[in-house]
Amino acid sequence: MAAIFYAGDSTVKFNKASTYPQTGISQAMLLYLADGVEMKSYAQNGRSTKSFLDEGRLALMEKEMKEGDYLFIQFGHNDEKDDPARHTDPDTTFKENLMKFIQAARENGAYPVLITPIARRHFNDQGKFLPGSHGAYPEAVRQTGKEAGVPVIDLTAITETYLNAVGDLASKAYFMWPGDNTHLKPEGAVIMAGFLSEELRKLGSPYADLLDSKNVVIENQGLDVS
C-alpha cells in the first residue's frame, strides 16, 4: 500500500504524550485512512519551508519515498515570521521552496499535494472572527499549485469559514486555548483532518483511494463550509 509523507509544522506534527493534548493533523488523519495506508509524518514544530529544507528533512523523506506514495506539503505559519532562519517571501522564495517539494515528489514517482495552512483562531473583542491571519502565503500556495499542475487543498479558506460559523466561544474547545490560538487539541485536529479527507475524496482517484471505504468524515458538525 501507499504511504503518505507529510511535511509541515507544529499544526501537522505527530505529537507524543509529553505534549498532550496538543495534536497535529497527521495524527488525526489516521482515523480516516484506509487499512494499510501508512502515515509518515516528518512535520516538526517551528519549521518553515526554508528551515525544513535547510535541515535536510526533505532529503530524509526522499530516501524512503517510492512510486505511488504521496507527499503532503503544508507550510505558512513559520515562513511568515520575521526570522532569517525561517522567513521566506510569499512571492519568491516561498513558492520556489514549494516547487522543490513538488519536484522531489515527482522525481520519486509520488503524488504531491499542496495544502494551505489552517487559520488561526482570531476574534476581536466583539467576538467577530478576523480572517487573513496568514497574509499572502495561502494565495502563494494556490498560485504554485496552478502553475505546477498540482492539487491544492485550501484549508485556509475552509477553516476560516468554519471558525466564523462556530464562533469565538465554541472554537476555544478545538485549540490549545487559553493563550494558544494556533495549535489544536484532539477534537480540533479530528475536525481539520476531516476537512482534509473530504477534499481528498472530492479529488477522486488516486487521492480518494487513501481513505477508508466507509468514508465517514467527522468534519463540520452539520455546518455548510462549502
Q: For domain 3-210, which architecture applies?
A: 3-Layer(aba) Sandwich (3.40)
217 has a pLDDT exceeding 60 = no
- Give strand pairing partners of 211: 33
Model pLDDT, residue 213: 79
In 10 A of CB 118, how many CB atoms? Answer: 31
Model pLDDT, residue 216: 56
The backbone region for 213, taken as left when phi is positive above 0, alpha when psi lies in -120 to 50, beta otherwise, is alpha
Residue 131 CB contacts under 8 Å (≥ 6 apart), including other chains: 119, 122, 160, 164
**How far, in Å, are 95, 130, 206, 219, 226 from residue 157 at the CA level?**
19, 12, 24, 14, 9
203 has a pLDDT exceeding 90 = yes
The arithmetic mean of pLDDT across residues 188-196, rounded, is: 97
- Give strand pairing partners of 111: 70
214 has a pLDDT exceeding 90 = no
The arithmetic mean of pLDDT across residues 171-176, rounded, is: 97
Helical packing angle, 155-171 and 186-203, nearest 10°: 150
Does residue 130 contact residue 122 with C-beta atoms inside 8 Å? yes
pLDDT category of residue 226 using cuts at 50, 70 and 90: very low
Does residue 150 contact residue 144 with C-beta atoms inside 8 Å? yes
Question: Residue 80, Cα to own-chain centre: how many angstroms?
Answer: 15
Does residue 117 contact residue 131 with C-beta atoms inside 8 Å? no
In 10 A of CB 26, how many CB atoms? Answer: 27
219 has a pLDDT exceeding 80 = no
40 has a pLDDT exceeding 60 = yes
The arithmetic mean of pLDDT across residues 8-20, rounded, is: 96
pLDDT category of residue 224 using cuts at 50, 70 and 90: very low
36 has a pLDDT exceeding 50 = yes
Instruction: Of 73, 148, 72, 70, give the one whose Cα is nearest residue 110.
Output: 70
- 103-155 pLDDT tens trace: 999 999 999 999 999 999 999 999 999 999 999 999 999 999 999 999 999 99
- Give strand pairing partners of 223: none
Instruction: Of 184, 176, 173, 170, give the one whose Cα is nearest residue 223.
Output: 170
Does residue 116 contact residue 138 with C-beta atoms inside 8 Å? yes
End-to-end CA distance of the chain: 31
Instruction: Indicate the average pLDDT of the chain.
Output: 94
Quote the radius of gyration of the chain (alpha carbons, Å): 16
- 50-93 pLDDT tens trace: 999 999 999 999 999 999 999 999 999 999 999 999 999 999 99
The arithmetic mean of pLDDT across residues 29-55, rounded, is: 97
